[in-house]
Amino acid sequence: MKTVYKEYRVDKTKIGFIRFIFEGHEGVAIATTLDPQKGHIRLAIAPDRLKTAQMIVEEFKKDFVFNEV
């Protein structure tokens, strides 16, 4: 199975928090900052954990900007 990559624009002040949460959910996804000034990140998501990653993203969207690019 191949890793699923998704890119998002997020509140740039929340990038560290986003990375921390995904690191805490080991094996779900790895968050990489592509452009910190614009809040552009990429998630490398394990295919069998896609649903879990989507649930985490939906929870983030309730609190701050988290838009798929």
Determine the pLDDT at residue 8: 98
Q: Which residues of the chain have pLDDT under 50?
A: none
What is the share, in percent, of the chain residues with pLDDT greater than 70?
A: 100
Q: Do the bridges between strand 40-45 and strand 66-68 make them parallel or antiparallel, or are there none, so unpaired?
A: unpaired
Determine the pLDDT at residue 23: 95
Spatial neighbors of 65 by CB under 8 A, at least 6 apart, are: 9, 10, 11, 39
Enter the pTM of the model.
Answer: 0.92
